[in-house]
Structure 1
């Protein structure tokens, strides 16, 4: 299977299929959705952190000389700060827009908010596609793990997008169609990155470092605070268990993919005529 085809398949998994998975959530009652969503968020936290610390960061450092370690560390730190500033700007724009809504017609003001959600989601998915492609260009197993982590993160986020679109007056059918179109930008980003990044292997470790900083920031700044809204013992233990499950699953899949790759390489070397 060609690398481009793998990128197309797994960017689709990270984007389109996460929307389809999230759309099943719409079939639940409101009380059921409120119960299930925190569990998905807990799992996503574990998946994102494991992908960053078990996969992306180690692979990024493996691809550079020791003299570049400080630059990679600075990239991770700078990425976290950049994502903080970007989110700050988005929050400012949201607050500014909300202030405008307070003095206007609410029925009409919800439509621009929904459009901004779709545009923002499309841009986010496009970047995710670039990050997945960068991971595949470095290592296939890393690409698989990265796409799974993206999907784990996207599902609860897509559920939130559906809620906003429905609140803005979209039917469930239109909300699904528009969200699906926005998710296609993941595949587009992956394809464009394949052709643009293939000859720029020296830049790949820094893309991986940025991907890691994105995962770390989303997990720590956006997802973890939402878990602190409930502090009872039972919920806390469930959160810890699901985070641990996310970590274990990503680490397990990463190690399995690594073992499969080693076995495949060994079999090729043992084939007649394959020795150099």
Structure 2
């Protein structure tokens, strides 16, 4: 197989197949379990940001201060995007009361959704992230085919828990399971696009990697902290809080375990 063929195959596995694997787990989950999976999703998103994406971005950044400014600007950007989504949903209401009341991140019994706000931001950020994954796979394979294989395996391994979290967020945002799978697969295609672009223009594209990673981190951080965590506070009782903390820890731990396996495997 040609180098381009290998790169496309590996990027397909790293993007689309990991999405499908995560979705299969999500599709087999009962609706009543979704509120618990949201706690896991928060942990997976935070783990991906602080254990994977930002460290990699910092390692490759020419200026860490500029990178931090990009994360800050990304958070502001996603705040504005969320406001636009809210405005679109609320436009035409007689009062602002309906707009404030329609959006519980988790209803008291865990069955509310947020009319697509979190899902839209996750799809944008995940597309950036997948695009960068494609660049990383192509760069690693062109450096050394064995390194490319290991890199693709690492990406698949850390994408599955993260994509499971993304899938749950899309369900939580009001998407049907079929649409959530479809949009996640389309987002995964960005991995192949990034790989193709990197194959033909690697030297110029590599300069974008830290900034793209910073934007991906900003979107995931914003969704976890601004959209999902506030919903957990709707259940302040001790038992629910302990469950939430444990599940957030499980989400972080799944990313950390993959990182340890990749580093020492």
* Residue in structure 1 matching 2:171, options 159, 176, 192: 159
Corresponding position of 1:46 = 43
Q: Which runs of 5+ in 1 are unaligned?
A: 103-115, 166-174, 261-276
TM-score, normalised to structure 2, is: 0.72
Q: Which runs of 5+ in 2 are unaligned?
A: 99-114, 138-150
SS in 1 for 2:28: helix
Q: 1:20 to 1:227 in 2, by over 3 A?
A: same
User: 1:184-205 CA deviation, whole Å, 9 max, x = no partner?
Assistant: 3123322222222451111111
Q: CA deviation at 1:11?
A: 1.7
TM-score, normalised to structure 1, is: 0.70
Q: Is the 8 A contact 2:135 2:194 kept in 1?
A: no
- 1:208 and 2:213 are equivalent in the alignment: yes
- 1:259 and 2:264 are equivalent in the alignment: yes
Q: Is the 8 A contact 2:123 2:184 kept in 1?
A: yes
Q: CA deviation at 1:242?
A: 0.9
Q: Quote the Cα distance in structure 2 between the aligned partners of 1:122 and 1:216.
A: 14
User: 1:177-228 CA deviation, whole Å, 9 max, x = no partner?
Assistant: x554433312332222222245111111111111111111111011111111
SS in 1 for 2:234: coil
* Residue in structure 1 matching 2:34, options 31, 34, 37: 37
Q: Quote the Cα distance in structure 2 between the aligned partners of 1:164 and 1:50.
A: 24
Q: 1:195 to 1:225 in 2, by over 3 A?
A: same
SS in 2 for 1:184: helix
Q: Quote the Cα distance in structure 2 between the aligned partners of 1:211 and 1:150.
A: 12
Decide which structure has the larger Cα Rg and report it: 1
Q: 1:22 to 1:252 in 2, by over 3 A?
A: closer
Q: Quote the Cα distance in structure 1 between the aligned partners of 2:252 and 2:77.
A: 25
Question: 1:25-104 alignment to 2 at 5 Å?
Answer: 25=29, 28=30, 33-34=31-32, 36-65=33-62, 68-96=63-91
User: 1:230-265 CA deviation, whole Å, 9 max, x = no partner?
Assistant: 0000110111111111111101101211222xxxxx
* Residue in structure 1 matching 2:233, options 228, 236, 250: 228
| Equivalenced residues, count | 224
- 1:241 and 2:246 are equivalent in the alignment: yes
Corresponding position of 2:136 = 138
SS in 1 for 2:235: coil
Corresponding position of 2:162 = 150
Q: 1:56 to 1:221 in 2, by over 3 A?
A: same
SS in 2 for 1:15: helix
Q: Quote the Cα distance in structure 2 between the aligned partners of 1:71 and 1:146.
A: 26
Q: CA deviation at 1:24?
A: 2.8
Q: Quote the Cα distance in structure 1 between the aligned partners of 2:206 and 2:61.
A: 10
